[in-house]
Every structure is written in structure tokens, then in C-alpha cells.
């Protein structure tokens, strides 16, 4: 079954169809999913696409989009002696002055977990200490946080809520017009939760074709084909290529969980700045599990767009421009020189879903 989505003959037939449809026009399509970038880079799909068709990465990596203020909050709480839990991708992302990895090397209690349930179990095992979990991710991972909160975790457990919503970020890019975007390859994982309906206003208002695609080479190429077919037909619709996983109404149970636990709020995105209605915050009745309120810590709101820093000195890292689709990782002066997976300067090289990480890993 899996091989059928990687069949070389079908791949090249689709590439030929894409060349035919795009002939005589330039197109700039954006995906907003780290797994899409992994697949595009891994399978070398850009190499078989016509030169007049550009596929750029957008803000599809949740770790990369987490602003400095959220990271600084986790570092501050770790410095106060609390146990901080985080997923591995977040561990090495630099904050304003340091990272969770660096402060753990200095003796602070920072632990990598594989799920939020691991963090809850840790709180049960350490009843005399506060355990704070870095809850990051888009609509895909937010339901798992919601389940934990609804099941009443231990009183010594709380979260830094950094969950974000993809459609408002897509709209922010279209409103800003800083980056030319002719159409979107919408994220498959996020769409299994929210379905296709939330993208419909974007297609209608901004006249942009949007296709929800899966992650295999044929998924992505067929998604591109469907976008170009819309251009040829003069349409701007939302289509689902990834029908084996995505329904128009999404996952009703997961959506109900999100609405039960979270309110929609404005949120800072690294590189993109403050975007209204693009984040999730715990409802008032669950505030006892909100680390920011529990420990009376106010996150800064003005540093979301700052470059990544090492110590007190700003670097030339251009992660923010990569997240906005303005440049590719190859255009960053630090890429593969001072910035590598074993010495990441910015979050796009840290996370396995980051564009720089994928470009570096599959660059040959």
C-alpha cells in the first residue's frame, strides 16, 4: 500500500502533468507543515518540478514558531527549581539568553518526555515538587493536552500553553502580502482534526486555491496538480487530496475536546509577530493548571520577531524570514556553516520539522 504512493512511474507522470499545467506562468505555492517539508526534501521533489514552480516552506513547525517569551518562561521556572518537561525538539531551542539544554547542563531539572502523560506521571511520583510541561503544537497535539486537563491531573502539575492554530497564521501571511503566495498545500495532520471547513473563508476571501495533501510523494505531487488545475479552471476552492485521513468536518470528538478546555486567544509567533485569534489558552475554570497564572509570571509580548540570540548578541539567523516564506534555508548566511543540527543557531535547524533541518539532512 505504502509503495503505491511512491511508485516512480506515477511520480514522473504527475511531474509531467504539472509541467504541462504550469507552462507559461510562474507559481509560488506554500506548504505549512514540517512533515511536508521532510517529504519534499527527502524525495527530492523540487528537482523534478519545473523551474517556474516554487514550493516554499511556511510556519508549519510548531517548535520553530514558539516565540522567545515562551521559552524564556520555561527557563525561568526551571531556574526557580521546578521540574520542567519538554519534547525533544524543544530541548535545544535558544531563548533570549540560553536554552533548556544549557541550563540542564548546569544542574537544573529539565526532562525530555515522549507524551504529556509522561509529565503527569512524573508529577505523581514527585508530589512535593511542581512539574511544568511545555505544551506546544498545533491543532494536532492540543487534544491530548485537553484530555489530560479534563482528567484532573495532580495539583502539582501545570502547563505552559503554547498551542497555536494554523488557519489564522495562513491568513496573516495573506494579509501581510510580504510573501507572494499563489496557493496553499494545507497540512494533513492538522486537517485530520479541523477538517477542510476552516480553510474555506481563506479561499473565498483571498482567492487562493487550497489543497489538503498527505505526506507521500504522490500525495504532494497530486496536491500540486489539483492546485494548478484550479488555476486552469479559474477556481479557488478547498479540496481534500488526503481523503484517507481527512473528512470535511474533521474529527468532531477532538474538536469538542478543544472547545471544552480552551478559549481562542491572540498569540505571538516567532517571525510572524502577534496574530489575533491564533492561539489557545486554558479556560478560566482550568487556570489552576496554567503555569503563567499559577506562578504570576508575565510573558513578554514584544520579542516574538527578534532574531535568535546567543548570549546577549543577536545573530544573523533568518529563521523568521524562512517561516514567512521569504527565503529558503539556502539563503541564510549561517546555513550549514555555523548553523548545523549539532550546533543549531535557530529553531528551524533544531526541530526535525524545521525547514533548515530537512534541507540539511537531505541536501545531497
Position 304 confidence tier, pLDDT thresholds 50, 70, 90: very low
Position 106 confidence tier, pLDDT thresholds 50, 70, 90: very high
Segment 6-29 mean pLDDT: 96
What mean pLDDT value characterizes the chain?
93
Lowest-confidence pick of 27-31, 38-42, 292-296: 292-296
The pLDDT assigned to 300 comes to 58
The pLDDT assigned to 313 comes to 39
User: Among 80, 73, 87, which residue's Cα sits nearest to residue 130?
Assistant: 80
- Biggest alpha carbon–alpha carbon distance for the chain: 67
Segment 170-183 mean pLDDT: 95
Cβ–Cβ < 8 Å for 37, 31: yes
* Percent of the chain at pLDDT exceeding 70: 94
So what CATH class is 32-364? alpha beta
pLDDT at 314 > cutoff 80: no
Segment 104-132 mean pLDDT: 97
The pLDDT assigned to 38 comes to 96
Question: Helices 217-233 & 34-42, crossing angle to 10 degrees?
Answer: 110
pLDDT at 133 > cutoff 90: yes
The pLDDT assigned to 316 comes to 85
Position 305 confidence tier, pLDDT thresholds 50, 70, 90: very low
Task: Please tell me the pTM assigned to this model.
Answer: 0.93
Segment 45-67 mean pLDDT: 95
pLDDT at 3 > cutoff 60: yes
The pLDDT assigned to 1 comes to 59
Position 199 confidence tier, pLDDT thresholds 50, 70, 90: very high
* Percent of the chain at pLDDT exceeding 90: 86
The pLDDT assigned to 6 comes to 94
Segment 12-39 mean pLDDT: 96
pLDDT at 196 > cutoff 50: yes
Residue pLDDT, tens place only, 240-297: 999 999 999 999 999 999 999 999 999 999 989 999 999 999 999 999 999 999 988 7
pLDDT at 4 > cutoff 90: no
Lowest-confidence pick of 3-17, 145-159, 166-180, 301-315: 301-315
Segment 44-62 mean pLDDT: 96
Domain edges within the chain:
32-364
Exposed / middle / buried, residue 295 (Cβ in 10 Å: 0-12, 13-18, 19+)? middle
* Residues 6 or more apart whose Cβ sits within 8 Å of residue 172: 269, 272, 275, 278
The pLDDT assigned to 301 comes to 55
Q: How far apart are CA 357 and CA 282, in angstroms?
A: 32
Segment 176-204 mean pLDDT: 97
Amino acid at each position: 500500500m505504502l509503495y503505491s504512493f511512491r511508485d516512480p512511474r506515477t511520480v514522473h507522470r504527475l511531474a509531467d502533468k504539472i509541467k504541462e499545467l504550469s507552462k507559461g506562468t510562474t507559481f509560488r505555492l506554500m506548504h505549512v507543515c514540517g512533515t511536508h517539508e521532510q517529504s519534499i526534501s527527502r524525495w527530492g521533489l523540487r528537482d523534478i518540478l519545473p523551474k517556474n514552480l516554487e514550493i516554499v516552506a511556511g510556519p508549519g513547525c510548531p517548535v520553530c514558531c514558539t516565540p522567545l517569551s515562551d521559552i524564556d518562561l520555561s527557563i525561568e521556572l526551571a531556574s526557580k527549581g521546578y521540574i520542567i518537561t519538554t519534547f525533544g525538539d524543544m530541548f535545544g531551542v535558544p531563548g533570549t539568553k540560553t536554552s533548556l539544554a544549557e541550563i540542564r547542563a548546569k544542574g537544573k531539572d529539565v526532562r525530555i518526555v515522549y507524551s504529556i502523560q509522561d509529565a503527569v506521571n512524573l508529577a505523581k511520583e514527585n508530589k512535593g515538587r511542581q512539574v511544568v510541561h511545555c505544551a506546544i503544537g498545533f491543532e494536532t497535539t492540543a487534544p491530548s493536552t485537553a484530555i489530560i486537563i479534563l482528567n484532573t491531573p495532580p495539583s502539582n502539575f501545570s502547563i505552559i500553553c503554547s498551542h497555536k492554530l494554523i488557519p489564522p497564521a495562513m491568513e496573516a501571511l495573506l494579509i501581510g502580502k510580504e510573501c507572494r503566495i499563489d496557493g496553499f498545500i494545507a497540512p494533513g495532520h492538522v486537517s485530520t482534526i479541523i477538517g477542510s471547513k476552516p480553510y474555506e473563508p481563506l479561499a473565498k476571501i483571498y482567492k487562493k486555491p487550497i489543497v489538503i495533501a498527505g505526506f507521500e510523494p504522490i500525495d504532494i505531487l497530486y496536491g500540486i496538480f489539483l492546485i494548478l488545475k484550479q488555476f486552469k479552471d479559474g477556481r479557488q476552492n478547498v479540496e481534500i487530496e488526503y481523503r484517507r485521513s481527512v473528512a470535511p468536518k474533521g474529527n468532531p470528538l477532538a474538536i469538542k475536546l478543544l472547545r471544552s478546555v480552551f478559549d481562542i486567544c491572540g498569540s505571538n509567533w516567532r517571525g510572524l509577530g502577534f496574530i489575533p485569534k491564533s492561539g489557545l489558552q486554558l479556560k478560566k475554570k482550568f487556570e489552576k493548571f496554567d503555569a503563567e497564572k499559577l506562578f504570576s509570571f508575565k510573558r513578554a509580548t514584544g520579542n516574538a520577531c527578534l532574531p535568535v540570540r546567543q548570549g546577549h548578541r543577536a545573530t544573523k539567523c533568518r529563521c523568521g524570514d524562512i517561516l514567512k516564506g521569504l527565503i529558503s534555508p539556502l539563503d541564510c548566511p549561517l546555513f550549514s556553516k555555523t548553523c548545523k543540527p549539532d550546533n543549531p543557531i535557530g529553531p528551524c535547524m533544531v526541530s526535525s520539522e524545521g525547514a533548515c533541518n530537512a534541507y540539511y539532512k537531505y541536501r545531497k
